Amino acid sequence: MEWAIPLQKLEVGKVQIGESQYADKSIVPLAYFDGQNNFSNLNILLPILKVKEFDLSSGKLLLDLKDHTQFEAKMNALQSTLLGAVFIQQQHWFNGYNYSLETLQKLFKPIIDNGILQLYYPVQKTDASIKIYKDGKWYSKLEPGLLQENNNVRIMFRIQGICFHKNQYNNVWSGKFRLQHRIYAILIK
């Protein structure tokens, strides 16, 4: 069973940034420490949001936060905090790098931009671990027409960490990075 922090209860200052893990993809994992509870993963339960756009071929899912300024501000604060951590830690994580904050902002692929939260549903994989609930029925895979524009949804997802893009030829950080995430459950209203 996975625990998730409702976005309205999330405190950005309690997000813990781990040590960089080097592999094919370099990632810095995230956790959440809330005094008595230590969550080894940063699982977030979103409030009910409207689907602005969903592309079944790519899995790109855009959620509208424009009418939810409190939630938008919280996600922006989290994103800014993690961007600042990359700025501060880049020399430690990637020996010799010293990008300016402005350059890092340009190289960063945001998860939230202009009131839109951008997530990805892994449509290329048949992943039965993602649960979808609609009209009193559970689905173990995404069927065509199940998730559509203007649906009201509540999503539980994990921000696995800060993922760094490496040049495929020399395995060196390209300067580009993003927040790696994974959707675990979708409730469609």
> Residue 127 is encoded by which pair of tokens?
């992943």
CA atoms within 13 A on the CB side of 70: 8
Task: Give the C-alpha separation, 44 to 81, whole Å.
Answer: 16
Task: Give the C-alpha separation, 101 to 121, whole Å.
Answer: 30
Closest alpha carbon to 153 in 118, 180, 122, 185: 185
Residue keyed to tokens 């813990």: 16
> Residue 71 is encoded by which pair of tokens?
């939630």
Q: What is the pLDDT of residues 63-87, one digit of tens each?
A: 999 889 999 999 999 999 999 999 9
Asked whether the predicted pLDDT for residue 25 surpasses 80, the reply is no
Across the range 149-163, mean pLDDT stands at 95
* Pair type for strands 152-166 and 42-45: antiparallel
Amino acid identity of 144?
P
Percent of the chain with pLDDT over 90: 66
Asked whether the predicted pLDDT for residue 2 surpasses 80, the reply is no
User: Residue 87 burial by CB count (10 A; 0-12/13-18/19+): exposed, middle or buried?
Assistant: middle
Contacts of 168 (CB under 8 A, 6+ apart): none
Task: Give the C-alpha separation, 78 to 13, whole Å.
Answer: 9
Architecture of the CATH domain 5-188: Beta Barrel (2.40)
| Inter-residue contact 116 to 24 (CB < 8 Å) | no
Q: How far is CA 130 from the centre of its chain?
A: 15
DSSP assignment, residue 58? T
Q: How confident is the model at residue 168 (pLDDT cuts 50, 70, 90)?
A: confident
Residues paired with residue 21 on neighbouring β-strands, in sequence order: 27
Entry pTM: 0.89
Task: Give the C-alpha separation, 7 to 47, whole Å.
Answer: 7
Asked whether the predicted pLDDT for residue 44 surpasses 70, the reply is yes
